Amino acid sequence: MSHEYLFELLVEEIPAWMLPHPGLRDGLAQLCKAELGIDPATSVTIGATPRRIFFRLSGLPAKQPDRQLEVKGPPIRAAFDDKGEPTQALLGFLRKNNATMEHVVRGEQYVTVERTVEGRAIAEILAERIPAIVAGLRWPKMMRWGRGEHAFIRPVHSIVSIFDGKPVAMEMFGVRSSNVTTGHRVLAPQPIEVSSYDDYLSRLRAAGVVALEAERERAMRDRCRELAKQVGGTPREDASIWEQWRYLTEQPGIVLSSFREEFLSIPEEVLITVMRVHQKQLPIIKKDGSLSNSYLSVMDNSADLDGNAAHGNSFVTNARFADAKFFHDTDRKRSLESRVDDLSHLQFQEKLGDYRLKTERIVAIAAAICKATKHDDRDVLHAARLCKTDLMTDMVKEFTELQGQVGGIYARQEGLSEPVWQAIYDHYKPVAADDPLPRGAEGAIVSLADRIDTLVGFFHIGARPTGSKDPFALRRAAQGFVQILLNNANWEIAIGPEQLVDIATDIHGAGNVAKGDLLDFLAERVRTILESEPWSFAYDEIAAAMDARWADSLTDLTARIAALRSIRNEPGFLSILDSAKRIANIVASATPGAVVASRLEHPTELRLHALSTLVSEQIAELAAAKEYRAALESFAGMAPELEKFFVDVMVMVDDPTVRDNRMALLQSVGKAAGAIADVTKVVVDRRELRSR
């Protein structure tokens, strides 16, 4: 019963970051479930090297099970003539369905045929479906080669396709399948015949290829630890290096090399970035936590007998570091302060001026933030003034991803205080959603000032993002802006988005044209962030609380959402929600004014009015003390009285003054918690209401 299928596509080197291709796993899983009748979780094994994509399907049946097929035919009166003999219509139907009279079943109205359809051979299905799955894979950057007839990630060389060792013929990219692959590109480039998955793995191994990535990674990790130990250290932890290395070679090889010790005078951040990002190398950390001048590189050859790889890697790294040292030494000849004026040579944006102007705006905005939040402004303004100066250094011109960090390092070397150098160092943070925030409030303020200056500037000149186009990365700027304003862990910058927009708009001299658009844009980011980890609020809670002046304070917003979340499923609150929605419907088309107490007549409405006045005062007090949960409880406390009102009092009476006054009363009740959230935006699960 148990059969095996093996497939391999041999291609030219696929970029490591594109492996493994998720579409292949999905396509095969779909095929297993829909047509092969096997469980993909236990039957599919997928692997890849830079040159190979392969998979095995195990536990396959030889053919699909036979199926009982019922086909509806002509109506009975059309199927048989007066004498009960089959008509041409019936005979034609039988012919078409490859059936005879013995398959015919007479139903009440129609004739049907029932017959057994033999299941198709699995090999036949594979021959048909595998090419569609593999050739149908979409890659980030497809290419053509040769005559240009086919598109794939890289040119395709050969295909292995065998079912229990026997070929399952197929053709794609102009290549016919066989049972032959080849070994390692330079170590064993001969053709290899394979008969099964195990045979494939072992023959490839003999031909210099460790086919499974997990096995390559294990071997490389072991070797890294071993080599690092030789120089008294351990490999630096680095997930992104391993993601790349496992798909960079067919043979797992690691080489230890070293750079000249004099380069250890270059800041560690620079050395590590150059090794990791530019050279894809793994630094070694010594026992005392310092950086070793030895490091590890991947190679597609397990042995470096003549020391060529060690020589080559040192050569390249030394060359890079010679450049970096030159930049470092040259840069250090001038202070950051002396570069402030140079910033006028660097354009930020045509209509928004150069970086000297941007710096002036950042300083002014940062000063306004300090004033508004009563934060000491000395260190903040010092950092703000210098934060962009590293853009004028050779180091950042060469290694742009080190912007901020380089300025921070140079500031530290110049002996500036910790809050100042850290603020410069951190002011691009957070770069991505999972990136840490600036370490201190000073860095956070400079970051906010820089971001809101950019956002207001671009919105004002009409260069806001549209669809997928965001050439100035404004979404990312806004994302970080929101993340900083949401923070209240070790520091909090107690200012709201709207006030920040106003400050920056004022400093840009921009007028308020784009304010609404920018706030909408920021609101969108707030919603997205609060819906995702670690907040994970529901969209309706967010919408309800945002309705109450979200742009005044984001930390306050999250406190209000949290209160709403904690109370939303409690019976008393569900009841007031229901009433609030009813009120919203009643007053939807009207514009009631203030309640005129003297016109209230019914005892129930008098009681409700008294209660609502009391509750409103209570809510205002609790909200001022940020006791949002208690405020919402107080609001919910009106539910019984309100329900009684709906029973006892008729709102839509003929007398317009009475009617309007009652609507005004209802409105004042419905809006009592309006400063915390627009509760009518909370979606209530009807089943929950009924089950009460």
- Using CB under 8 A as the criterion, which residues of the chain lie in contact with another protein when the complex forms? 12-13, 15-17, 50, 141, 143-148, 154-155, 157, 185-187, 248-249, 253, 255, 279, 297, 299-301, 304-306, 308-309, 311-313, 315-316, 319, 322-323, 326, 345-347, 349-350
Least distance from C-beta 54 to another protein, angstroms?
Answer: 19
Question: Cα 5 from chain centroid?
Answer: 35
In this complex, which beta carbon is closest to another protein, that of residue 74 or of residue 155?
Answer: 155
Q: Give the whole-angstrom CA distance, residue 471 versus residue 349.
A: 12
Least distance from C-beta 509 to another protein, angstroms?
Answer: 21
Query: Both tokens of residue 581?
Result: 């929605």
In this complex, which beta carbon is closest to another protein, that of residue 438 or of residue 457?
Answer: 457
Least distance from C-beta 281 to another protein, angstroms?
Answer: 8
In this complex, which beta carbon is closest to another protein, that of residue 219 or of residue 322?
Answer: 322
Least distance from C-beta 161 to another protein, angstroms?
Answer: 19
Least distance from C-beta 361 to another protein, angstroms?
Answer: 18
Tokens 């594979």 sit at which residue?
Answer: 126
Q: Give the whole-angstrom CA distance, residue 98 versus residue 103.
A: 10
Cis peptide before 20 (omega within 30 of 0): yes
In this complex, which beta carbon is closest to another protein, that of residue 322 or of residue 538?
Answer: 322
In this complex, which beta carbon is closest to another protein, that of residue 248 or of residue 639?
Answer: 248
Q: Give the whole-angstrom CA distance, residue 196 versus residue 207.
A: 16
Tokens 């819906």 sit at which residue?
Answer: 531
Half-sphere exposure of 622 (CA within 13 A, CB side): 22
DSSP conformational letter for 277: I
DSSP string covering 618-675: HHHHHHHTT-HHHHHHHHHTTHHHHHHHHHH--SS-S-HHHHHHHHHHHHHHHTTTTT
Least distance from C-beta 21 to another protein, angstroms?
Answer: 15
Q: Give the whole-angstrom CA distance, residue 488 versus residue 501.
A: 20
Farthest-apart Cα atoms in the chain, separation: 112
- Asked whether 129 and 140 are in contact (CB, 8 A), the reply is no
Neighbours of 660 (CB within 10 A): 18
Question: Cα 157 from chain centroid?
Answer: 35
Cis peptide before 534 (omega within 30 of 0): yes
Question: Cα 325 from chain centroid?
Answer: 37
The number of residues in the chain equals 692
DSSP conformational letter for 389: G
Least distance from C-beta 573 to another protein, angstroms?
Answer: 56
Least distance from C-beta 331 to another protein, angstroms?
Answer: 16
> Angle between the 497-508 and 355-373 helix axes, to the nearest 10 degrees?
140
Question: Cα 349 from chain centroid?
Answer: 29
- Asked whether 531 and 537 are in contact (CB, 8 A), the reply is yes
Least distance from C-beta 152 to another protein, angstroms?
Answer: 11
Element (H, E) at 599: none
Least distance from C-beta 158 to another protein, angstroms?
Answer: 10
Least distance from C-beta 173 to another protein, angstroms?
Answer: 10
Least distance from C-beta 552 to another protein, angstroms?
Answer: 37
Least distance from C-beta 141 to another protein, angstroms?
Answer: 6
> Angle between the 656-670 and 571-587 helix axes, to the nearest 10 degrees?
140
Helix and strand element counts for the chain (H, E): 27, 20
Burial class (CB in 10 A: 0-12, 13-18, 19+), 627: middle
Least distance from C-beta 484 to another protein, angstroms?
Answer: 27
Q: Give the whole-angstrom CA distance, residue 389 versus residue 367.
A: 19
- Asked whether 484 and 447 are in contact (CB, 8 A), the reply is yes
Q: Give the whole-angstrom CA distance, residue 53 versus residue 153.
A: 12
Q: Give the whole-angstrom CA distance, residue 4 versus residue 592.
A: 76
Least distance from C-beta 138 to another protein, angstroms?
Answer: 15
- Asked whether 320 and 273 are in contact (CB, 8 A), the reply is no
Burial class (CB in 10 A: 0-12, 13-18, 19+), 335: middle
- Asked whether 204 and 187 are in contact (CB, 8 A), the reply is no
Least distance from C-beta 11 to another protein, angstroms?
Answer: 11
